[in-house]
Amino acid sequence: MQTQARVVVIGGGVVGCSVLYHLAKAGWSDVLLLERSELTSGSTWHAAGGCHTINGDPNVAKLQKYTIELYKEIEELSGQATGFHMTGGVMLASTPERFDWLKSTMAKGRYQDIQSRVITPEEAHEIMPLIDPKQFVGALETVVDGHLDPSGVTYAYAKSARKLGASIETHTMVTDIQRARDGGWIVRTDKGDVACDHVVNAGGLWAREVGRMVGLELPILAMEHMYLITEDMPEVAEINASTGKEVVHAVDFDGELYLRQERGGMLMGTYEKACVPWSIRDTPWSFGHELLQPDIDRIAPSLEVGFDHFPAFQTAGIKQIINGPFTFAPDGNPLIGPIRGLPGMWSACGVMAGFSQGGGVGLALANWITQGDPGFDVWAMDIARYGDWATMSYTNPKVQENYSRRFSIKFPNEELQAARPYKTTPIYDMLLGMGAQMGDSWGLEAPLWFSPDGTRDAFSWRRSTDFEHVKEEVRATREAVGVMEISGFSKFFVRGPGATAFLDRVLACKLPKPGRMTLAPMLKDNGKLQGDLTVACLSDTEFFLAGSGMAEVFYARWFEQHMPDDGSVTLEVVGLGMVGLSIAGPKSRELLQRLTPTDVSNAGLRFMGIQRMDVGFAPCLVGRVSFTGDLGYELWMKPEYQRHIFGRLLEAGKDLGLKPFGLRALNAMRLEKNFGGWAREFRPIYGPLEAGLDRFIAYEKDADFIGRPAAIAERAKGGTLRLRAFVLDAQDADVIGDEPIWHAGEVVGWVTSGGFAHNAGASVAMGYVAKEVADSDGPWQVELLGQRLVATPQHTPLFDANMDRMRG
Ligand SMILES: Cc1cc2nc3c(=O)[nH]c(=O)nc-3n(C[C@H](O)[C@H](O)[C@H](O)COP(=O)(O)OP(=O)(O)OC[C@H]3O[C@@H](n4cnc5c(N)ncnc54)[C@H](O)[C@@H]3O)c2cc1C
């Protein structure tokens, strides 16, 4: 066996083989895959082999489309049949809510060029004659859907990779991974050591064990999964004879079933509610080409629905029931990308739909390794969305929840309940006492809105029970003063003699002077956004940065990748070591002044100023900034002071009309300011010019910041997109994100976020549109729940366009 390679990929399942193929295709032929047994020996060999393009996240859908379209390519290159049958399919809805979901999914697919069509139950019956149309209210016909031979696909990747120069060693068990002195890695196996620059963990069912070799506890859990195969069915033979084609694929969401033809019979699988995890902490190395004991009682409730929805199954004999394990991350999306703190260590794990997603995962990872960037939007799959808080004990209930809800609708105002409450701030019980309706913000309980009368969210696609209460929170803030918990932000201190030079390189903005803050876009080498932070200069050697909470590990990974190794800079990832409160509204200054001896008049603390001061008895860092777009302040403190400060604010604010507000009111207020947010308007695929952030880019500053040449080039060429805001003629529902934007009868963009801006009394959508039409008067429309709503461009903010309130 070779003793050196540029990349070692651990695991010869469909994912590892896809990564290997894509590395070799990118021209890196000195790459080696190590498999402890035969290829496909994990989850891969017993998969049902179904593949779909449709996914709730359009970016994941795009990767799924890429994956399915790849099968022809690898079949041709390798000469290995993949057994791919592009049958097309129907996705079935038996409730109006599910039908609404299907319509919105179809709409989202428009700008990704994913073909699908909303059809009636009768039309669905014509396409898929096994269904009882009376059981359904509608369906979606899909095109790029089918099934394949799992083993054929894996070998097609492997043979293609070999043809391009990659190597594969089977029956080679990786036993340990160690850091090499030169900064690379030594992969130890039962056949000897391999020195390499990069290691990819594609260990599938054993990904946790491989992770532990470098001290990682990956948030992954395997679940048992069952599907059955029937004896030959006369109904299937009849469809084959009359159409000359196979029976199309079907997904029956409300029955929690998926179906496809298997030889002369049918294959039916289910994501049962009474799900069972497998090998909760350790996966035995002795587990090989084995199946688990089937448990028909567990899937009986789904099968009963199946018999109603697909009557021909009532008389079909069951030939075989397959039960096998495969892995999931807590949110069901893959865990891919570089591991923070371990340069050259990569994850390609938790891929629960290897035949829909494996190609896209392989491409993204190969791009990332060879070019330093995944090349498209993989935010939803980036392993950096989880930190060390995502323990096995947290992962277990979350994965079970995700599995059992795989085919359930998640309404936009619905919060999942497993593994909660988990992280809380010191004022958690005070907030609950005030009626806080909590949301789960990456493990942290965060108030969404306040219910003074015990009302709860009624889950819906439309405006719901929170509407009037959120409106009242907005009114109180805009007319008087509101207070909000903001502890969930990611927060960092960058310190040391090299701090200024380091931040000048990683941030694209002009650095603020001591006592000042500024918005700080961070760019990648390709000039696209890597972050959207606020940076505050506390002294020449100390800076404080705050950004989106979900990006904490993502930002920390980037900072650490670019920090000098001479010890001149230190990074403190603050987490909940510092918590926060925000006060906003015209009376927020008066409120703050009541609690601090420091002069916080407009002259004493200007807009974007920051100062340490006492608030109540407690030391605080106070910045004059607010995402509400109003006069406002962010107060940062150690956790032990938060209850005291919150209590003092509530007390001192009583006669000013102080009210607590939550994330939904914040959304309503930032929308009427056209303020974008990370992971919505600002994502790693947009450039600063496109995102309207170029006014914060110091193109001409002395420091050579990351992404400057590409950003300058984009500014010269003009990019391809523009972020725009629209007011919609909406009646009882508002956009949430990913809805298509139409211009003169054509889809020219997509919504990034939106909602009802209560103060302005307008339904607002923000989104990207093609540059060429961005400044056109229209006609514009946004498609929402199957209707195209008139959209009016909103070039200036609906609230405080002159910034008198914010700066005054
Ligand atoms: C019953 C069932 C039905 C399914 N149906 C579908 C479906 O219809 N469509 C779909 O897309 N997906 C389906 N899946 C899921 C699919 O099987 C997985 O998404 C996919 O197999 C994951 O592939 P992988 O390469 O990540 O992991 P695995 O297949 O588990 O591969 C990991 C490999 O790594 C090797 N390995 C691990 N540790 C080491 C080590 N230390 N040294 C060397 N080698 C090591 C293992 O031997 C194994 O071969 C199904 C799964 C099951 C169980």
Residue whose CB lies within 8 A of the most ligand 1 atoms, among 175, 326, 361, 406, for a mutation test = 326
CA 287 / ligand 1 centre spacing (Å): 12
Instruction: Tell me if 659 CB under 6 Å of ligand 1.
Output: no
Residue 84 sits at φ, ψ, to 5 deg, of -75, 125
Angstrom distance (rounded) from CA 11 to CA 238: 42
| Contact between residue 387 and residue 255 where contact means Cβ atoms under 8 Å apart | no
Q: Whose CA is nearest to atom 34 of ligand 1?
A: 11
Instruction: Tell me if 35 CB under 6 Å of ligand 1.
Output: yes
Strand, coil or helix: what is 64? helix
Average pLDDT, integer, range 619-643: 98
Ligand 1 atom nearest 205 alpha carbon: 30
Angstrom distance (rounded) from CA 683 to CA 249: 34
Instruction: Tell me if 47 CB under 6 Å of ligand 1.
Output: yes
Vertex 170 angle, CA 166 and 176, to 5°: 95
Instruction: Tell me if 404 CB under 6 Å of ligand 1.
Output: no
Please give the pLDDT value at position 759.
98
Size (the chain), residues:
808
Residue 574, Cβ neighbours under 10 Å: how many?
18
Please give the pLDDT value at position 128.
96
- Can you say whether the dihedral through the CA atoms of 215, 221, 224, 227 is positive or negative? negative
Instruction: Tell me if 33 CB under 6 Å of ligand 1.
Output: no
Strand, coil or helix: what is 681? coil
- Can you say whether the dihedral through the CA atoms of 107, 109, 112, 114 is positive or negative? negative
Q: Between the CA of residue 484 and those of 205, 508, 634, 650, 666, what are the distances in Å?
A: 43, 29, 9, 11, 9
- Which DSSP string do the residues of 84-147 spell out, in sequence order? -B---EEEEESSHHHHHHHHHHHHHHGGGT--EEEE-HHHHHHHSTTS-GGG-SEEEEESS-EE
Angstrom distance (rounded) from CA 620 to CA 381: 36
Considering only CA atoms, which of 167, 169, 153 is closest in space to residue 20?
167
Rg (CA), the chain: 27
Q: Whose CA is nearest to atom 40 of ligand 1?
A: 174
Residue 58 has pLDDT above 90, yes or no: no
Instruction: Tell me if 14 CB under 6 Å of ligand 1.
Output: yes
DSSP structural state of residue 605: S
SS (H, E, C) 257-310: EEEEEECCEEEEEECCCCCCEECCCCCCCCCCCCCCCCCHHHHHHHHHHHHHHC
CA 272 / ligand 1 centre spacing (Å): 20
Average pLDDT, integer, range 205-222: 98
Strand, coil or helix: what is 392? helix
CA 214 / ligand 1 centre spacing (Å): 21
Please give the pLDDT value at position 60.
86
SS3 content of the chain, % helix, strand, coil (to 5): 30, 30, 40
**pLDDT (tens digit, 9 = 90+) per residue, 290-335?**
899 999 999 999 999 999 999 999 999 999 999 999 999 999 999 9
Average pLDDT, integer, range 640-663: 98
Considering only CA atoms, which of 439, 506, 750, 483 is closest in space to residue 642?
483
Could you give the residue ranges of the DSSP H alpha helices within 142-189? Answer: 150-163
Residue 56 has pLDDT above 80, yes or no: no
**pLDDT (tens digit, 9 = 90+) per residue, 530-571?**
999 999 999 999 999 999 999 999 999 999 999 999 999 999
Please give the pLDDT value at position 108.
83
**pLDDT (tens digit, 9 = 90+) per residue, 764-773?**
999 999 999 9
Q: Give 421's contacts (C-beta < 8 A, 6+ positions apart).
A: 428, 438, 445
Ligand 1 atom nearest 173 alpha carbon: 42
Instruction: Tell me if 11 CB under 6 Å of ligand 1.
Output: yes
Could you give the residue ranges of the DSSP H alpha helices within 198-244? Answer: 207-212, 234-243
Ligand 1 atom nearest 40 alpha carbon: 49
CA 33 / ligand 1 centre spacing (Å): 15
Going along 472-528, which residue ranges are E strands?
482-485, 490-495, 517-523
Q: Whose CA is nearest to atom 50 of ligand 1?
A: 47
